[in-house]
């Protein structure tokens, strides 16, 4: 499928944003979501894996905005949730309970009980969670139906290029490691718990090569075969977890991570996964959402006092919305472009600039040594590829109010359409986080 250019009409979008007065003193920053691009990415996934036995569960942690999640739901996607709150969020938007995958690595007994009562597809992390499910089953009326429940195994296929988000090393905090020394114990868990009818893996996402995703699926299906040998017909669901990687550097999605390429490699290596014998869950996040998003900040001031040093460009977006950029700039770096105050692309010779955020510590930089035309106060800085793991990771330090979020698309009449998905956080909403006005005496 032909994917529309993700920065399609961005110039006209910026001009429209300015014309409508959406950048001002009250909201000097905002986020944009290209809805046409977002829909095309989802359609591309569904075209690569069209079978009805797939549940393509969007990773809610990547982008939890109601408007974005609703687009996913309307495309028939499910929701992969890292907390019970995320699961309830998805249910409130109309996602079917059996398409909501509850994957939290740290669940309370109450979380587990609620997930069962809500009918969620739940993946357990460890043997203690299995024992808690058994306690719940024992307290329920005999024969009462149970939702799909799987066990997360760690296929131990190694790390990708970014250690902090690689989840398939021996020392991963997620799931139970599948090794020769542990295989019999894991098989025993399935033999002892006939209600345990799913298996889940997740090898990581960004920085993980495609072959490692495929290797993880091979380990998964080999293990499923061994479970089937001792518990015939018990496994109903296989969850092949997250991914795929994408790029923050290039304008287009990398061809080596195309959903169709992933399908092709799975057909070659694990054809049994696609046989229709099992329900198959995917958990795509960054690869669906990243390039649909663009963030804008008005430049408030440019400091250029030290001869021989880069100008410091002061903006309203920094660690508050881009914590990984500030703390791991050698790994996480977006691309940037500059527009004038009317929303037109700024011209001129490029110079190196340091892009600083609004928070009160010296390390609060979006990026350093960024080539931009000479920046001025009231210019607009565009931060590209921000549709995933940006607003979702928002930080309350300094009580900076979160930006509004707008979706845009080309209407049937060819004109740009804008919709507000999220208003800017009010002062009162921001301060509610810090506790009660009148403390409750206990």
CA distance 79 to 68: 12
Predicted confidence (pLDDT) at residue 165 exceeds the cutoff of 80: no
Looking at domain 35-286, which CATH architecture does it have?
Alpha-Beta Barrel (3.20)
With beta carbons less than 8 A apart as the criterion, state whether 120 and 147 touch.
yes
Q: Are 291 and 249 in contact (CB under 8 A)?
A: no
pLDDT in tens, 187-223: 999 999 999 999 999 987 777 889 889 999 999 999 9
What does the alpha-carbon distance between residue 308 and residue 300 come to, in Å, rounded to a whole number?
Answer: 22
At residue 142 the predicted structure's pLDDT band, cuts being 50, 70 and 90, is: confident
Distant-in-sequence contacts of 407-410, Cβ < 8 A, 24+ apart? 407/32, 407/33, 407/34, 407/35, 407/67, 407/68, 408/13, 408/32, 408/33, 408/34, 408/35, 409/34, 409/35, 409/36, 410/8, 410/9, 410/36
In DSSP notation, 207-235 reads T--HHHHHHHHHHHHHHHHHHHHHSTT--
Cα–Cα distance between 217 and 201 in angstroms, integer?
A: 8
Q: What is the per-residue pLDDT for 161?
A: 54
Say yes or no: domain 291-432 is CATH 2.40.37.10.
yes
Q: Give Cβ neighbours of residue 352 (< 8 Å, ≥ 6 apart).
A: 310, 369, 370, 371
Q: Given a cut of 60, is residue 3 above it in pLDDT? A: no
Residue 160 has pLDDT above 90, yes or no: no
pLDDT at 1: 31
Asked whether 298 and 380 are in contact (CB, 8 A), the reply is yes
- What are the boundaries of each domain within the chain? 35-286, 291-432
**What is the reported pLDDT for 11?**
86
CA atoms within 13 A on the CB side of 288: 27
**Mean pLDDT value of segment 413-428:** 95
In the predicted structure, residue 143 carries a pLDDT above the cut 50: yes
pLDDT(276) > 60? yes
**Whose CA is closest to 379, among 355, 345, 336?**
345
**Global confidence as pTM:** 0.92
| pLDDT score of 364 more than 60 | yes
Angle at 173 between CA 172 and CA 177, to 5 degrees: 60
The mean pLDDT of 65-88, rounded to a whole number, is 98
Q: What is the pLDDT of residues 367-402, one digit of tens each?
A: 999 999 999 999 999 999 999 999 999 999 999 999
Helix, strand, or coil (residue 308): coil
Could you report the per-residue pLDDT of 300-335, keeping only the tens digit for each? 999 999 988 999 999 999 999 999 999 888 888 999
């Amino acid at each position: 499928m032909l994917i529309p250019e993700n920065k399609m009409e961005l110039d006209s979008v910026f001009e429209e944003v300015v014309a409508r007065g959406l950048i001002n003193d009250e909201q000097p920053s905002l986020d944009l979501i290209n809805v046409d691009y977002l829909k095309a990415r989802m359609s591309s996934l569904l075209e690569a894996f069209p079978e009805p036995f797939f549940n393509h569960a969007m990773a809610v942690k990547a982008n939890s905005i109601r408007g974005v999640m609703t687009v996913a739901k309307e495309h028939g996607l499910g929701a992969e949730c890292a907390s019970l709150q995320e699961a309830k969020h998805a249910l409130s938007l109309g996602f079917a309970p059996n398409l909501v995958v509850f994957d939290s690595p740290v669940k309370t007994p109450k979380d587990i009980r609620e997930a069962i009562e809500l009918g969620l597809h739940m993946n357990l992390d460890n043997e203690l969670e299995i024992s808690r499910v058994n306690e719940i089953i024992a307290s329920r009326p005999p024969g009462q139906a149970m939702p799909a429940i799987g066990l997360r195994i760690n296929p131990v296929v190694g790390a990708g290029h970014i250690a902090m988000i690689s989840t398939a090393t021996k020392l991963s905090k997620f799931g139970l490691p599948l090794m020769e020394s542990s295989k019999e114990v894991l098989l025993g868990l399935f033999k002892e718990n006939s209600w345990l009818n799913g298996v889940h893996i997740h090898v990581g996402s960004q920085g993980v090569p495609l072959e490692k995703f495929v290797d993880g699926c091979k380990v998964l299906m080999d293990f499923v075969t061994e479970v089937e040998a001792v518990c015939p017909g018990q496994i109903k669901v296989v969850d092949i977890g997250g991914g795929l990687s994408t790029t923050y550097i290039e304008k287009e999605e990398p061809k080596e991570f195309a959903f169709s390429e992933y399908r092709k490699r799975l057909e070659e290596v694990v054809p049994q996964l696609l046989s229709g014998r099992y329900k198959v869950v995917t958990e795509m996040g960054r690869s669906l959402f990243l390039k649909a998003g663009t963030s804008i900040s008005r430049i408030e001031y440019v400091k250029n006092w030290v001869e021989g040093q880069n100008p410091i460009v002061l903006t309203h977006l920094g660690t508050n919305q881009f914590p990984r950029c500030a703390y791991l700039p050698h790994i996480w770096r977006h691309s940037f472009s500059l527009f004038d105050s009317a929303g037109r692309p700024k011209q001129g010779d490029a110079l190196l600039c340091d892009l600083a955020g609004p928070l009160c510590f010296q390390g609060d930089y979006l990026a350093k040594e960024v080539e931009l035309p000479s920046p001025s106060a009231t210019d607009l800085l565009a931060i590209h590829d921000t549709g995933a793991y940006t607003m979702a990771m928002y930080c309350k330090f300094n009580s900076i109010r979160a930006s509004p979020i707008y979706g845009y698309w080309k209407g049937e009449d060819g004109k740009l359409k804008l919709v507000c998905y999220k208003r800017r956080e009010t002062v009162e909403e921001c301060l509610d986080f810090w506790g009660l006005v009148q403390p409750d005496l206990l």
